[in-house]
Amino acid sequence: MTTIDTLPGSIVEDRYPTRCKNYPMMLRRPDPVVWPTESGTTAAGPIDADTVSDYDARGFLTIDSLLSPDEVALYRDELDRLAADPAVKADERTVVEKTSNEVRSIFEVHRISPAIAELVRDPRVVDRARQLLGSDVYVHQSRINYKPGFKGGSFYWHSDFETWHAEDGMPAMRAVSISIALTDNHPFNGGLMIMPGSHRTFVSCVGETPADHYKESLREQEIGTPDNDSLTVLAGRYGIEQFTGPAGSAVMFDSNCMHGSNGNITPFPRSNIFVVFNSVENTLVEPFAAPQPRPPFIASRDFTPVGRE
């Protein structure tokens, strides 16, 4: 086990070493999945006990109709408006597809769009995150994703936590993502695939993070990519599930779920709103395996609790 300096004068044991060896490792997760509150119990919230227990075991949960059809229409209009705005397209927080020059993602979108800021504060969203993480939460990252039809690219297998730990300095697995579908997710249009149960295993990746890695890694993951053997073991043990459902449904998943998505040749595009909540008791330190932290629009260092501003 590696020990590394994180802040002047302190030594923090790194329980999740990655990008520091020339061989991969599969490590058992010491952190809980559903975090207890200070009083030692699961926080109250909108998620029923069975679903919490299932989330604990599988690392994700789905919500059938988080948004009404009217809300879906509203947010789709907002996404179209943002993607068509020349100022937004020129913004460094916007990622443009290599080949087509089309907008693929817009980061820190809750600071760009008041409508999305409101959604992040919505009790249907933030109260679920608080319940699972057992504390107040802040937005570590927000974005909207557009995956076009016909030529939508794949997103290779990864654990978000591996990147957030290595490149952003997130200490523990105490973060949860919510992806809210604004288009129908079929089994065949490149939706999210998760290996249920994989969140209990940390796959330590080979390689060393280069400077400014985020500029490339947002387009195509290379460093921080799990090895084939680990993926084969995890897929063999846990299988693969796909998140399918109509526009307005949502999936919440633990920061360490092994997930990815295939490409999409169908005419059916996909778009979603994606928000990562991190516990205010798990704020970022120095990166564990990168020369410098990523910019704040990708990994916020404003730890103000959502709804407590």
Q: Cβ of residue 242: shortest distance to a copy of itself, in angstroms?
A: 6
- Among positions 206-245, residues that touch a copy of itself (CB under 8 A) are 228, 231-232, 235-236, 240, 242
| Contact status: 100 vs a copy of itself (CB under 8 A) | no
Structure-block tokens of residue 102: 């089309």
Q: Which stretch binds a copy of itself (CB under 8 A): 36-44, 77-85, 204-212, 256-264?
A: 256-264
Q: Cβ of residue 181: shortest distance to a copy of itself, in angstroms?
A: 17
Among 37, 42, 266, 283, contact with a copy of itself (rule: CB under 8 A): 266
Q: Cβ of residue 154: shortest distance to a copy of itself, in angstroms?
A: 5
Among 263, 291, 304, 308, contact with a copy of itself (rule: CB under 8 A): 263
How far is residue 114's CA from residue 298's CA, in Å, rounded to a whole number? Answer: 18
- Among positions 143-202, residues that touch a copy of itself (CB under 8 A) are 149-150, 154, 156-157, 186-188, 190, 193
Q: Cβ of residue 234: shortest distance to a copy of itself, in angstroms?
A: 8
Q: Cβ of residue 148: shortest distance to a copy of itself, in angstroms?
A: 10
Q: Cβ of residue 235: shortest distance to a copy of itself, in angstroms?
A: 5
Complex with a copy of itself: residue 151 or 308, whichever CB lies closer: 151
Among 70, 101, 267, 302, contact with a copy of itself (rule: CB under 8 A): 267
Question: Residue type for 175, please?
Answer: A
- Among positions 42-61, residues that touch a copy of itself (CB under 8 A) are none
- CA dihedral angle for residue 44, residue 48, residue 51, residue 57, rounded to 10 degrees: 40
Report the first-to-last Cα separation within the chain, whole angstroms.
Answer: 39
State the angle between helix axes of 69-84 and 114-121 in degrees (0 to 180), rounded to the nearest 10.
140
Complex with a copy of itself: residue 20 or 193, whichever CB lies closer: 193
| Contact status: 264 vs a copy of itself (CB under 8 A) | yes
Q: Which residues bind a copy of itself (CB under 8 A)?
A: 149-150, 154, 156-157, 186-188, 190, 193, 228, 231-232, 235-236, 240, 242, 260-268
